[in-house]
A and B are shown apart, each in its own frame.
Chain A
Amino acid sequence: MILNFDEFQKINQAENELNNIRIKNLNIFKKKGFPSKREEDWKYTDLKTILFNNINKLEIPNNKKTSQYNDEWLLKNFQHNQIILVNGDFVSSNFSFEDKEKIKIKPLKMVLNDKKDFEKIKDCFNDKKSSLTSLNHALVNDGIFLEIEENYSFNKPLIIYNFFNKFSENKIINNKNFISLEKNSKLNLLEYYKAEDSIKYFNNTVHNYSIQENAILKKFSIDSNLDNSYNYHLTNVKSYSNSIFENFLLSCGSNFIKNEIHCDLLESFSSCFMNGLIFLSNHQHHELKTNINHRSEHCKSSQLVKSVLLDMSNATYQGKIYVEKNAQKTDGYQLSKALVLSKNSAFNSKPELEIYADDVKCSHGSTTGNIDQNFIFYLMSRGLSKEQANKILVEGFLNEAIETITETNIQSLISKLFIDKINKTKF
């Protein structure tokens, strides 16, 4: 990696405090480097090698800013509010369906330069999960800062468009997003990714969500329109009393993606649902790592991950449910089902339960297999080709994950994107 840190500092002037944080974290990263197989959390995903083999000249974005994107990339026939980020830079936002009094939205760049605002997010810079987190602390220069006031429910979903044009070729993008939902508020959030012409970049983004009492956040990540990109998304969620966090992942687009989601159920009766599908072909490598921490009584968590792997692809699901001693009456559930359809593809599953309370209900299951040939015979005996039969079976298998989406308009949107993807795939 080419680190022009002096130039970076010049472009991204910051208060002394942030500057010190940057230097400190950069040194941590320099010492550790990118994570590799030697670290337990990265056992199935050797990022160091992956980056070395694929993007050898990774560099920090320079001053040549550009915010070009194609209007056709925006989703049509779907009413929504939007925030547009291009190459990681906050470009515009539009909340035409909402009461603007109830929403506070700022580019993170402004927050980083404002002493008072910076206080609000300062704590997150103490996170030392991996060297990538340190790198993000050191190099973060933009992102989203969004606050939703008490008792406000969004009328329409919010789509965060993450566009990448040719100026992000070989760049490393370090963003942080902060979204906080005050008491009784509600938001449906779609993270939508699209890159121009197979450009290659590494996106290292940290998402922070705070969901206060009775608030509901439903979040959907869609990477089906990425192809050549490399991504690491770290999501930290703090859930307070009686709140709901729903997370859905359509993980099928990029060359490499690791989604790591940590959800702390801090107060009683909060719940967290993490569902998704991983559908890979060629040399794609995706990983989903979840860490659900039950820290209080009567909390619920549920996870369903369905994966289908073709060609030389590789997927990993590491799902952990952690139950603290005082988190009695916990209800935790986790299920992973995978179809490995080619000799050269692989699926790794590592379900973990760590329980210190004695009155809990926790279960997990994991299956990996192939398509039943009798199913194929049945479908072919009705005139379907082998390709059609495989397709209909894979679609059916993965649909179970899509059916967990509780918002019907979003469900049909994601279903459409998924069908587009599956129709382009050769079985």
Chain B
Amino acid sequence: MLNIKNLSVSIDGKKILERFDLKIKPGEVHAIMGPNGSGKSTLANVLTGKNGYEIEGQVFYQGKDLLNLPIEERAQKGLFMAFQYPLEIAGVNTNNFLKTSLNTIRKVRGQKELDSLDFLKLIKTKTKKLKIDEKILNRQLNVGFSGGEKKKNEILQMTILEPKLAILDETDSGLDIDALRIVSDGVNALRNKERSFLIITHYQRLLDYIRPDFVHVLADGKIAKTGCGELALELEEIGYEEMGVSK
């Protein structure tokens, strides 16, 4: 699914990631943990296609060179990132935006575009399943949403767009227990043999709900340690520094 080889990323000459390697197979759930400033979000942004980074190395997504693809084509080919800080976009109706987004992606996939009625039906089932209030869809995109609502909206978008590879950038930060459950239920419901996840988090807590296949600890711009789910527990207990991992 995803193969990152020797990836180095810097901003204004400052190295953030250095010779980073990671391989994700279809159906796998990978968690990346790491202290503040270790480059977790940079990794997510680079994979999604954000501008402003100097990039070396290679990233293959479904066998194709990801770094040469424009942002929207990455999304159209099934890459999705749940933002750490979803943006408030005044004037843009959430419903319209999501419908445009879904139909653009469906078109590329060779599926029929949904009309308003079918889209509404889809929204109704998905929001109900995720226990999200469907009223948020009639509001302007993320405007005036609480932190929890914004994150739930990201998960709703993910559920509707059905990506092949979903990157969750600290989606658990700032969530209460109930919201955390909604987010993890959303992820777990989407888990299958083909779909992969890359979950970026600070805390082990989320991994109680979403059991990852692998946990990586990021430090100094590369993976310092890789293990199974227990590694997260261990980290939680002794902290990054004790583990010999620091900035």
Contact = CB atoms under 8 A, between A and B. Distances in A.
Binding partners A and B:
yes
A121 interface: no
Interface string B77-91: 000110100110111
B80 to A, nearest CB: 8
B8 to A, nearest CB: 22
Contacts of B83: 378, 381
B75 A382 contact: yes
B87 A381 contact: no
A382 B157 contact: yes
Interface stretch (B20-28, B54-62, B96-104, B123-131): B96-104
B75 A383 contact: yes
A107 B49 CA distance: 63
A395 interface: yes
A384 B100 contact: yes
Interface string A372-396: 1111011111111110100011011
Given A392-B96, A392-B97, A396-B140, A383 B161 contact: yes
B51 interface: yes
A396 B75 contact: no
B152 to A, nearest CB: 16
B96 A384 contact: no
A291 B93 CA distance: 34
B93 to A, nearest CB: 7
B71 A392 contact: no
Interface in A214-228: none
Nearest to B103: A383
Contacts of A59: none
A383 B86 contact: no
B91 A377 contact: no
Contacts of A379: 89, 97, 101
Contacts of A382: 75, 97, 101, 157, 161
Q: Which of A372, A378, A379, A400 has the most CB of B within 10 A?
A: A378
A381 B75 contact: yes
Specify which of A377, A388, A393, A399 lies most central, judged by the most chain B CB atoms within 10 Å of its CB.
A377
Interface in A173-213: none
A222 B87 CA distance: 33
A374 B72 CA distance: 14
Given A378-B86, A384-B72, A397-B91, A392 B140 contact: no
Contacts of A400: 90-91
Contacts of B96: 392
B76 interface: yes
Contacts of A378: 83, 86-87, 89
Contacts of B81: 381
A365 to B, nearest CB: 15
A153 B209 CA distance: 63
Contact of B48 (A381, A385, A388, A395): A381
Contacts of A392: 92, 96-97, 100
A358 B87 CA distance: 42
Which of B74, B76, B96, B97 lies at the interface centre, i.e. has the most chain A CB atoms within 10 A of its CB? B97
A396 B90 contact: yes
B161 A396 contact: no
Given A388-B104, A396-B92, A380 B75 contact: yes
Contacts of B50: 377
Looking at B72, B81, B140, the one whose CB has the most chain A CB atoms below 10 A away is B72
Most chain B beta carbons < 10 A, residue from A378, A383, A395, A396: A383
Contact of A377 (B71, B80, B101): B71
Given A375-B87, A386-B72, A388-B100, A381 B49 contact: yes
A381 B71 contact: yes
A383 B101 contact: yes
Nearest to A401: B91
B219 interface: no
Interface string B94-119: 00110011001100100000000000
Given A386-B72, A388-B100, A380 B92 contact: no
Nearest to A383: B75
B92 A383 contact: no
Contact of B90 (A373, A386, A397): A397
Given A377-B51, A388-B100, A388-B104, A393 B89 contact: yes
Interface string A309-338: 000000000000000000000000000000
A398 B92 CA distance: 10
A399 B143 CA distance: 15
A122 B72 CA distance: 63
A373 B49 CA distance: 13
A384 B90 contact: no
A335 to B, nearest CB: 14
Given A377-B50, A378-B86, A383 B76 contact: yes
What 6 pairs between A and B have smallest CB-CB spacing?
A: A396-B91, A396-B92, A383-B75, A380-B71, A382-B101, A383-B105
Interface of A: 372-375, 377-386, 388, 392-393, 395-400
Given A384-B72, A392-B92, A397-B90, 11 more contacts: A374-B87, A377-B50, A378-B83, A379-B89, A379-B97, A380-B70, A382-B101, A383-B161, A388-B100, A393-B89, A400-B91
Interface of B: 48-51, 70-72, 74-76, 80-81, 83, 86-87, 89-93, 96-97, 100-101, 104-105, 108, 140, 157, 161
17 contacts: A372-B87, A373-B51, A377-B48, A377-B49, A379-B97, A380-B49, A381-B81, A381-B83, A382-B97, A383-B101, A383-B104, A384-B72, A385-B72, A393-B91, A395-B91, A395-B92, A400-B91
